[in-house]
Amino acid sequence: MTKPPVIEAKNLTVSYMLGHGFLAPKTRLNAVDNVSVTIDRGSFFGLVGESGSGKTTLGRALLRAAPISEGSVTYQDDEVRYDLADIEKAELKDYRKRAQLIFQDPYAALSPRMTVRDIIAEPLEVMGLTKTRAETDARVREIAAKCRLNLEHLRRFPHAFSGGQRQRISIARALVSGPRLIVADESVAALDVSIQADVLNLLKAIQRDMGISFLFISHDLSVVAHVCDHVAVMYLGQLVETAPTRALFERPRHPYTSALLSAIPSLDPDDDRQAEKLEGEVPSPTDPPPGCKFHTRCRFARERCRSEAPALREIAPERHVACHFAEEFDFSRQTAPAAETV
């Protein structure tokens, strides 16, 4: 870990103004709220959270595809170092080669009118990375082979392919410009389980063989547990816990992480371990609760949680938790301790 991290975000906030009319008051929505996160070079970093937690927006901000309202994001590889909050136009163009995105829906992400060869070649042509057609073709074939697409596939149109094959085409397109960072946003969510494993194995092979860093955004904790080496859990625009994967799954130190884990349906029909009931739903991000944003659904919430927002703090090497009681309570316990103890 001597090399500097590929991504370092500090106090990153992405906010949007809602409401346009002069009668309706404008409200500010912090989709990403004061997030600091470090992604080590070559790591497979998982980002989990429910819909509306801001995980997609955070991923886009790191690609400079969402506005950085406050804070800073630094990208660094062997050749360049960019401060994404005030990056210049020429640098941004270069950054697009180095950081790529793979979308969720392989049916919507590929143009139906282009052949697979043209889909994969397009970034090369747009970015001017190759000079001759022969050079482009050679590069396309090389990447296609890495993604287990054969030459015959390159002449066809996307409709001829299944979901898993289409996702491999999307991956090839993302890889062709030689990125050092890939944001994979729910990239296996639309795939059947029998195919999902195949795409996950391919992404892992790319990380291992090409040394590319991944931000893997997913709502599926069991998938994240299997492929990621580091995980961050997001709730209402903020990180509530980050940890090495194994440590996080062995003992979650934030009550939200613990509830998420227990909500995964077990494959064992006789496992009647009751899911920790998270009552209610995620509050509206335009009107987040005061104090700890999770306190409205937390079984362990105390008076302090309602007024004072917990900071994300390091409680063990590489483990960060935003909870006042991370050391005190065992969140996997069925019952919360009596309130008087605090």
Partner 1 sequence: MSDALISVQDLTIRFRTDEGLVTAVDRVNFDIRPGEVLGLVGESGSGKSVTAKALMRLNADNTDYDAASKILLNLPEGPVDVLGIRRERDLRVVRGGAISMIFQEPMASFAPAITVGDQMVEQLMIHTTMSKAQARELSIEMLARTGIPEPSRRFGQYAFEFSGGMRQRAMIAMALSTNPRLLIADEPTTALDVTIQAQVIDLMKDLVRDFHMAILFITHDLGVIAQTADRVAVMYLGRIVEEGTVRQVIRHPAHPYTLGLINALPKLDNLDADLTPVPGDIPSPLNRPTGCVFHTRCPVAIEGTCAAREPAMHPASDGHMAACHLTEEAVTEGMSA
Where do contacts with partner 1 occur on this chain (CB under 8 A)? 50-51, 162-165, 192-198, 200-201, 219-223, 225-226, 245-246, 249, 259-261, 263-271, 275, 277-278, 281
What's the rounded Cα separation, in Å, for the pair 228 and 44? Answer: 5
- Min CB(342)–partner 1 separation in Å: 25
**Least gap, CB of 94 to partner 1 (angstroms):** 35
Q: Is there a contact between 62 and 135 (Cβ–Cβ < 8 Å)? A: no
Cβ atoms of 194 and 7 closer than 8 Å: no
* Residue 249 C-beta: closest distance to partner 1, Å: 7
Q: How far apart are CA 219 and CA 224, in angstroms?
A: 8
CB-nearer residue toward partner 1: 17 or 267:
267
Q: Which is nearer to partner 1, 204 or 319 (CB)?
A: 204
CB of residue 312 to partner 1, shortest distance in Å: 21
Of 71 and 289, the one with the shorter C-beta distance to partner 1 is 289
Query: Least distance to partner 1 from the beta carbon of 214, Å?
Result: 16
Least distance (Å) between residue 267 CB and partner 1: 5
In what side-by-side order are the strands of the sheet with 238-244?
99-102, 181-185, 213-218, 44-48, 230-235, 238-244, 319-321, 313-316
Contact 164, 87 (CB under 8 A): no
Q: Which residues contact 182 (CB under 8 A, 6 or more apart)?
A: 99, 100, 101, 102, 174, 175, 206, 212, 213, 214, 215
63-86 burial by CB neighbour count: b if 16+ within 10 A, else e?
bbebebbebebbbbbeeeebebbe
Which of 51/341 has CB closer to partner 1?
A: 51
| Distance from C-alpha of 210 to C-alpha of 36, rounded to nearest angstrom | 27
Q: How far is the CB of 264 from partner 1 (least distance, A)?
A: 6
**CB-neighbour burial class of residue 280 (10 A; exposed 0-12, middle 13-18, buried 19+):** exposed
- Give 21 or 265: the residue with its C-beta nearer to partner 1: 265
Q: Are strands 230-235 and 319-321 parallel, antiparallel or unpaired?
A: unpaired
* Smaller CB separation from partner 1, 77 or 229: 229
| Closer CB to partner 1, 39 or 223, in the complex | 223
